[in-house]
Structure 1
Amino acid sequence: MELQEWLGKLKGLSSEQLIKTHFGLQEKIKKHYKLRGEGNNLKKAISLCEQQIAMAPLVIKAMRDKHHEDLKVLSEINRNISEPDISDEFYAPAHHGYRQLCVILRKLKQFERVAELEVKRNAEGWSK
């Protein structure tokens, strides 16, 4: 399946499903990168990083949405027990696919691509 077709299918998923898919890819990246010296595991790790990066804009939005939904629930609970409201600020986590692919590309001396990925990651709002 082509990457764009796959992304199109992801757009129909709920926030929780997108987040679950994101972290599932993260675990696969770790597994294949750990075995990078064997077979085509490095190539597979790169491909998985690229998949996770491709879906990153959908996932960060899903994380923000879930954060705000969770805050609504917590705020209601806090009101019922006379606790002060909690901050609604969202702090994005680091993105494993970006970080891992940048490590690989630095070793391959593909510094321009690293710079492009870092700009994209920062524009999307992921932590370093």
Structure 2
Amino acid sequence: MTEEEWLDGLRHLSHDQILQAHFSLQEQIKKHYKLRAEPKHMKKAIALCEQHIALAPLAIEAMKQNPHMYSNGEFFAPGHHGYRQYAIILRRKKEFDKLNEIEKKKCSEGWAD
């Protein structure tokens, strides 16, 4: 299944459901990354980061529908934990091409650093 096919299966969800999935993935990444010394947890953290990043376009659109994300009528995007954590992992693995790819995707979606 491609990332776009996976996203198509989630587009019917409400904004609240998308944000719930977004924050759930964030917490799962934190949990598994803390246990990264065990290879199975590092592998799971990477997979969760990839899912979190795949969901990011829907999550930022859902956030734009949330009035709490605005100040004086202007939308302020937060940082994105999946992008941030995956960038750390990719730097340590010296996978700079993949790192550049996700940095461009993050910027194009409008997430803060």
Normalised by the size of structure 2, how large is the TM-score? 0.91
Whole-Å separation in 2 of the counterparts to 1:41 and 1:94: 23
Task: Compute the displacement of 1:8 (Å).
Answer: 2.1
Which residue is equivalent to 2:11? 11
Checking the alignment, whether the CA contact within 8 Å between 1:16 and 1:66 is kept in structure 2 is no
Task: Compute the displacement of 1:34 (Å).
Answer: 0.4
Alignment of 1:44-63 (within 5 A): 44-63=44-63
Does residue 113 (structure 1) correspond to residue 94 (structure 2)? The answer is no
Task: Compute the displacement of 1:38 (Å).
Answer: 1.4
CA separation of 1:120 and 1:4: change in aligned 2, threshold 3 A: closer
Checking the alignment, whether the CA contact within 8 Å between 1:15 and 1:65 is kept in structure 2 is yes
String of CA shifts for 1:81-124, please: whole Å, max 9, x gaps.
xxxxx611010000000000000000000011111111110110
Which residue is equivalent to 1:122? 107
Aligned match of 2:79 in 71, 91, 94? 94
Larger Cα-atom Rg: 1
Checking the alignment, whether the CA contact within 8 Å between 1:49 and 1:101 is kept in structure 2 is yes
Task: Compute the displacement of 1:18 (Å).
Answer: 0.4
Which residue is equivalent to 2:40? 40
Count of matched residue pairs: 113
Task: Compute the displacement of 1:66 (Å).
Answer: 1.8
RMSD: 1.9
Q: Which runs of 5+ in 2 are unaligned?
A: none
Whole-Å separation in 2 of the counterparts to 1:7 and 1:119: 19
